[in-house]
């Protein structure tokens, strides 16, 4: 591995889609800084990757401006460059408007929308120092359709899709491409927490491929958009959803 190996920072990388993304990047020769609010989970995740010379654990809350700045600086110091940022950390509250408290609303927006804003703001100048790179924001099919249960979550993801386009236009001048991946349902810890049996059955029946996605299937799309194979793609929202969006079906 040379000093110039491609380097990524993946947020929410202790488990789920973020961990699968970090693992695939490592397998493809990247160096990866894994950032997560769950310090113990992060340590376990990094240990399981068995690549101490190409990984870095960054315990951090993406909604904490000072913490994010310090984490990005630590990654830049350790690896000397940053070629990709994957804004994957997210939280889900599945509730209707009238049941959602202002605190729940604020926290979902802080993690899912302000987090990517802060991470991108800290990372873009570092990427620009070595000619640019790519940002991949993880949105959701919940940002493509309205539903009765996702007032905060769906709004945060729809706003992140727009932030993706804003960033794509603005950061092109720094050599940075920006895209989003909008996952359909994936059976991670998040989905286990918020998908009721009724939601689960509805997804299985209505999604054209009749199943949940796998973490690794999401990682493939994310790593593609983060790397040079996607060199002329910017400002796009790629649904990786088993045909959900194409079918025009409603969220359960
Ligand atoms: P997950 O809950 O399994 O993993 C999320 C990770 O983010 C966890 O390790 C958690 O500790 C971390 N995290 C949470 N808040 C954080 C914060 N403030 N700062 C830093 N890290 C934080 O979830 P997942 O299913 O792997 O989701 C990953 C992304 O994919 C999220 O943005 C989610 O909204 C999106 N997504 C998931 C699904 C799905 O069905 N699983 C569908 C659409 C979109």
Residue 210 clears pLDDT 60, i.e. is over it = yes
Q: What is the pLDDT of residue 110?
A: 98
- CA of 87, closest atom in ligand 1: 32
Q: Ligand 1 in contact with 18 (CB < 6 A)? A: yes
Find the mean pLDDT for residues 152-171. 98
Distance 20 CA to ligand 1 centre (A): 12
- Give strand ranges (E) for the chain: 7-11, 31-36, 55-59, 84-87, 133-138, 176-183, 237-240
Of the candidates 174, 164, 194, 169, the residue with the CA atom closest to the CA atom of residue 91:
194
- CA of 141, closest atom in ligand 1: 43
- Residue from 85, 89, 237 to probe ligand 1 pocket by mutation (most atoms less than 8 Å from CB): 89
* Residue of higher predicted confidence among 19 and 1: 19
Interface pTM (ipTM) of the complex? 0.99
Q: What is the pLDDT of residue 2?
A: 46
Catalytic residue among 153, 203, 212, 232: 153
Q: What is the pLDDT of residue 4?
A: 66
End-to-end CA distance of the chain: 46
Q: Ligand 1 in contact with 160 (CB < 6 A)? A: no
Q: Name the residue with tokens 């800290």.
A: 122
Would you call 153 a catalytic residue per the annotation?
yes
Q: Ligand 1 in contact with 26 (CB < 6 A)? A: no
The pLDDT tens digits of the residues spanning 50-75 come to: 999 999 999 999 999 999 999 999 99
Q: Percent of the chain at pLDDT above 90?
A: 98
Q: Is 56 exposed, middle or buried (0-12, 13-18, 19+ CB in 10 A)?
A: buried
Q: In which band, very low, low, confident or very high, does the pLDDT at 5 lie, cut at 50, 70 and 90?
A: confident
Q: Is 210 exposed, middle or buried (0-12, 13-18, 19+ CB in 10 A)?
A: exposed
Ligand 1, atom 10, lies closest to the CA of: 12
The pLDDT tens digits of the residues spanning 120-130 come to: 999 999 999 99
Q: What is the pLDDT of residue 243?
A: 98
The pLDDT tens digits of the residues spanning 60-117 come to: 999 999 999 999 999 999 999 999 999 999 999 999 999 999 999 999 999 999 999 9
Residue 182 clears pLDDT 60, i.e. is over it = yes
Residue 44 clears pLDDT 80, i.e. is over it = yes
Q: Ligand 1 in contact with 63 (CB < 6 A)? A: yes
Residue 29 clears pLDDT 60, i.e. is over it = yes
Q: Ligand 1 in contact with 14 (CB < 6 A)? A: yes
Half-sphere exposure of 200 (CA within 13 A, CB side): 11
């Amino acid at each position: 591995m040379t000093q110039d190996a491609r380097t990524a920072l993946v947020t929410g990388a202790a488990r789920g889609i973020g961990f699968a993304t970090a693992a695939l990047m490592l397998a493809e020769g990247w160096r990866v800084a894994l950032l997560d609010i769950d310090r113990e989970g992060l340590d376990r995740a990094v240990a399981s990757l068995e690549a101490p010379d190409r990984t870095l654990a960054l315990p951090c809350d993406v909604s904490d401006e000072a913490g994010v700045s310090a984490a990005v600086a630590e990654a830049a110091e350790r690896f000397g460059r940053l070629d990709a940022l994957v804004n994957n950390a997210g939280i889900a509250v599945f509730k209707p408007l009238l049941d959602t408290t202002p605190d729940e609303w604020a926290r979902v927006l802080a993690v899912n929308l302000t987090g990517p804003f802060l991470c991108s703001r800290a990372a873009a100048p570092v990427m620009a120092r070595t000619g640019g790179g790519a940002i991949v924001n993880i949105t959701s099919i919940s940002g493509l359709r309205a539903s009765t249960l996702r007032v905060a979550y769906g709004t945060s993801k729809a706003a992140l899709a727009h932030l993706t386009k804003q960033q794509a236009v603005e950061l092109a001048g720094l050599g940075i491409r920006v895209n989003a991946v909008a996952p359909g349902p994936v059976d991670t810890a998040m989905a286990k927490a918020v998908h009721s049996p009724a939601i689960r059955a509805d997804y299985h029946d209505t999604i054209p491929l009749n199943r949940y996605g796998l973490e690794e299937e999401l990682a493939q799309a994310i790593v593609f958009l983060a790397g040079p194979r996607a060199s002329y793609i910017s400002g796009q929202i790629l649904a990786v959803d088993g045909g959900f969006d194409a079918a025009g079906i409603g969220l359960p």
